[in-house]
Amino acid sequence: MTPLGIHGMANILSTRPNTISSSGRAMQNIFFDITRLAWHLRRSDTYSGIQRAAVMMIAETVNRVGAEHVFLSLYDTRKLRYRAISMRSIETETLIDARKFRSVLGMDVDEDAVFPPLRGYASNRKKYSFHLARFHLNALLRNNTFFRQRNVTIADWKSYLRAKRQTGKAIAGTEFASLASKGDHLILLDCSWALARSIPHFKKAHENGLSVHVMVYDLIPIVRPELVTEGASMQLYDWLLSSLDFTTGYLACSQATKTDLEAFQKAHNVSRPVSLIPLAQNMVTAAPVVQAKGPLAERVNAEAYPRVLELVGVKDAIRSLLQMPYVLCVGTLETRKNNWRIALAWDLLRKTVPINQMPKLVFAGRSGWMNDDFNRLMVNTGQLDGFISLIEAPSDAELALLYQNCSFTILASHYEGWGLPVGESLSYGKTAVVSNNSSLPEVGGDLVRYCDPLSPQSIMQACHDLIVDPSQREALEACIRATRLRTWADVADDMIKATVRDKAIL
C-alpha cells in the first residue's frame, strides 16, 4: 500500500491489518513507543541524538517488515489515553523529519520552517508579523518581482498558506488496546524512563501477552551520577527497577552498556535477557537535504557552481566557518562532554601549531547543563580569541554541511552509551579524536585516534598529530573508505531478530 502524505489524513484511523502468515494465523505486529519523543517535540522542532537514532530504527523496520506491521504508540497527555498510529498512514520521510512529524502529531509547526524567506524574522515577533503582512500584500498585488527577489514564487506562497491551514489536522490514531494482540511486540526506543505515566500501559501490554523490550542507551546517571543533574540518577534507578515488572528483555546499544545493565541486575539479584544491538556507524541526519529550488536557483549552473546552491539557506555563522579549516565537536554542551578540557587542549594547541595550520574548534549542539566552567572560559577569553566557535542547535542540513567540511571531529567525553557523533563522522569519511573509555572504542575501532579525556595534554597531542602531519589523517581516512560501516538497516535487522520470534514477519 502506498504511504499517504501528511495532508488530507485528519480522519484516518489506524486499523489492525489482517494479513495471514503461511501458518494460517495473523502475523505479528510491532509497536514502537514514542511517548518521550512526542513530549520533546512539543518543546522543540528538532530531534535529539537518541531520538534521531530511534526514528532511523523505526524507518528501517518499516522497510524490513512493511508498514502494515509497524505502529507508533504514545501516551496522550491531553486525552489521558494510550493510542497507536499505523505507519501505513505516515511516510517514513515524514517520521524522520521532526518538523513534519510534529504536524502529524497535531503540534504547531514554526511558520518559518514552512516558508524559508521568513526564517530570519522568526525570533522577533514584530518583525515577523510585519514581513508576513508584506508577503500577503504583494501576493494580493500579484507582485512577482517581490517574490522572485527572494527566490520564491507566488505559487510557493500559496502552497505555504495551504500547508499552514493543514497544521493541526493530526492523525487521531486508535486505542492501543484495541489494536495490540497477544503475540505482538512493544519496543521502547526513546528514554521512556523520563516519563513514568506510560508504565501502567506497558504493564497491561505485558499482561495481555505482548512481548515488551526496552532499549537501554546508557546507565550514566547511575554509574556516573556526578555527570548528570540532581534527580536524574534516582529517576532512572527507580524506573529500571519498575521496568522489571513488564520487560521481556532489554536491548543494549553497546557492549559497555550491556555490561553496566547486567551489573545493575546482579546488584539487585534479578535477571532479564539483555541482547546486544550496537548502533550504527552512520549518519543520523534525519531530514533529507532538499536541493535548493526557486526562480533564482533555476538559473544557477549547478555543475559549475555547486556551492552556490549548497549554501542556500545556510546561516552566516556557518558560512564563515567554510573559509578556514576547523575541527568539529558535536553534542549537547553539558559537563559530560568534557568541553572545558577540550577547550583547554585547544589553548595548548594554538601555542604549538603554526598559525597557518591552526584550525578553529567548532562546538555544534544545544546548550545543556552543568557547563559553567566552559561558559566562563568562553566569556573570559573571547572564545579563545576567536579560535572557538559555537553553533547553537544546527539544523540537520547545517550539521551535514559541518561534517562534510571539517578536518576531523572530536568526542573526548567522560562517558558514552554509544557515541553517535563518532559514527556520523566515520560515515562522512572523517576520522576523530576519541576518549579511550566506555563504548567509544566499539564505535571508533582502529579508524580514530584515542586520548585520555582527563588530560588536556593528551587531547592536544592527538589533535596535534592529525593537524601538523596530514598523512596520518589521510591514512585513517583511507582505512575508513575501505571499511564497511554498520548501517541503520543492520541495526534494525538485529533488533527485529532479537525481539520478533515469528519467522513469517522476518
**pLDDT class of 379 with cuts at 50, 70, 90:** very high
Is it the case that residue 78 has pLDDT exceeding 90?
Answer: no
Instruction: Name the percent of the chain lying above pLDDT 90.
Output: 64
pLDDT digits (tens, 9 = 90+) for 453-502: 999 999 999 999 999 999 999 999 999 999 999 999 999 999 999 998 64
pLDDT digits (tens, 9 = 90+) for 233-251: 999 999 999 999 999 999 9
Is it the case that residue 319 has pLDDT exceeding 80?
Answer: yes
Q: Which residue has the cell 595548548?
A: 348
E strands, 310-387, are: 326-330, 360-365
Q: Which amino acid does the sequence have at 301?
A: N
Q: Which residues contact 444 (CB under 8 A, 6 or more apart)?
A: 419, 422, 426, 432, 434, 450
Query: Would you give the distance in Å from CA 179 to the centre of its chain?
Result: 28
Query: Would you give the distance in Å from CA 328 to the centre of its chain?
Result: 17
Q: Which residues contact 349 (CB under 8 A, 6 or more apart)?
A: 358, 460, 463, 464, 467
pLDDT digits (tens, 9 = 90+) for 124-153: 778 878 988 999 999 999 998 898 888 888
CA-closest candidate to residue 56, choices 392, 499, 486: 486
Query: Helix or strand or coil: residue 300?
Result: coil
| Spatial contact of 376 and 411, defined as CB atoms under 8 Å apart | no
Per-residue model confidence (pLDDT) at position 3: 36
For residue 241, the tally of other CB atoms under 10 A from its CB is 12
Domain ranges of the chain: 30-106+170-280+490-501, 111-166, 297-485
Per-residue model confidence (pLDDT) at position 16: 44
Is it the case that residue 204 has pLDDT exceeding 90?
Answer: yes
Domain 297-485 is classified in which CATH homologous superfamily? Answer: Glycogen Phosphorylase B; (3.40.50.2000)
CA distances to 208, 291, 293, 295, 296 from 301, rounded to whole Å, are 60, 13, 13, 13, 11
Per-residue model confidence (pLDDT) at position 310: 81
| Spatial contact of 376 and 413, defined as CB atoms under 8 Å apart | no
CA 392 – CA 29 distance, rounded (Å) = 39
Per-residue model confidence (pLDDT) at position 158: 84
Average pLDDT, the chain: 87
Per-residue model confidence (pLDDT) at position 11: 30
Helix (H), strand (E) at residue 33: strand 30-33
**30-106+170-280+490-501 fold:** Rossmann fold (3.40.50)
Helix (H), strand (E) at residue 450: strand 449-451
> CATH topology of 30-106+170-280+490-501 equal to that of 297-485?
yes
Poorest-pLDDT segment among 15-29, 57-71, 163-177: 15-29
pLDDT digits (tens, 9 = 90+) for 237-292: 999 999 999 999 999 999 999 999 999 999 999 999 999 999 999 876 544 445 55
Between 23 and 440, residue with greater pLDDT: 440
Poorest-pLDDT segment among 173-182, 249-258, 445-454: 173-182
Query: Helix or strand or coil: residue 483?
Result: coil
DSSP 141: T
C-alpha dihedral, 369 to 458 to 443 to 396, nearest 10°:
50
